[in-house]
């Protein structure tokens, strides 16, 4: 009985065409990831600015409670900046972000300045600060009775 000889050919590598196809798929994948990451930077910067303002508001409320004196956050809408009374620093909001302030009439200045004032008992003048860029937006609500500060995605509330 005779068995036929069987030869086994092992492929010891990839063809140039296979390598080019794989590299093309990898480059295409990286370009999609890069586009997604760069489009997220705008919303990340907007949320960071909103969180910074919330932090400043909470600091001002805490200072009013601890010192038993009024503390004010002043928003300059013309220059996209804000300050906290008792601190010399001017905080900058990126120019690409639109800021709107709703507060008590007596806290508005005709020069584009609006105040949120916190009193010694923790209450405030109350109001809303809205930050928008394109279709993205965040709103900060300040309760006048309790001084509680809440940050909400403006798109979710529509």
List pLDDT tens digits, range 84-106: 998 889 999 999 999 999 999 99
Higher pLDDT, 101 or 21: 101
Residue 24 placed within a domain: no
* CATH code of residue 114: 3.55.40.10
**CA-CA distance, 6 to 10, in Å (whole number)?**
13
- This prediction has a pTM of 0.73
Sheet with strand 136-142: strands edge to edge: 98-102, 127-133, 136-142, 149-153
Cα atoms found within 13 Å of the Cα of residue 88, Cβ hemisphere only: 0
Task: Summarize the confidence of residues 12-26 as an average pLDDT.
Answer: 83
pLDDT at residue 137 tops 60: yes
Question: What is the model's pLDDT at position 46?
Answer: 92
Q: Can you name the residues that pair with 83 across neighbouring β-strands?
A: 74, 90
Would 37 be classed as within a structural domain? no
Q: How far apart are CA 83 and CA 115, in angstroms?
A: 10
The pLDDT score that the predictor gives to residue 32 is 75
Describe the chain by its helix, strand, coil percentages, rounded to 5.
Answer: 35, 30, 35
Q: Is residue 158 part of a domain?
A: no
Share of the chain above pLDDT 90, in %: 61
Residue 28 within a domain: no
What are the structure tokens assigned to 78, written together? Answer: 């013309």
Structurally, how many domains does the chain consist of?
1
- List the structure tokens of 61: 């409320």
41: its two tokens: 């930077």
Q: Please report whether residue 115 resides in a domain.
A: yes
What is the span of the domain harbouring residue 48?
A: 42-153
């Amino acid at each position: 009985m005779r068995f036929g000889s069987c030869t086994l050919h092992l492929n010891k590598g990839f063809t140039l065409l296979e390598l080019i196809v794989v590299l093309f798929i990898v480059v295409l994948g990286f370009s999609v990831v890069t586009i997604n990451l760069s489009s997220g930077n705008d919303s990340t910067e907007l949320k960071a600015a909103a969180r910074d303002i919330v932090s400043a508001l909470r600091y001002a409320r805490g200072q009013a409670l601890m010192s038993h004196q009024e503390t004010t956050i002043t928003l300059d809408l013309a220059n996209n900046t804000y300050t906290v009374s008792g601190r010399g620093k001017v905080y900058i909001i990126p120019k690409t972000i639109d800021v709107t302030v709703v507060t008590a009439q007596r806290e508005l200045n005709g020069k584009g300045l609006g105040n949120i004032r916190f009193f010694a008992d923790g209450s405030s003048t109350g109001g809303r600060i809205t930050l928008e860029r394109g279709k993205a937006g965040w709103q900060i609500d300040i309760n006048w009775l309790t001084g509680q500060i809440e940050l909400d995605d403006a798109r979710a509330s529509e």
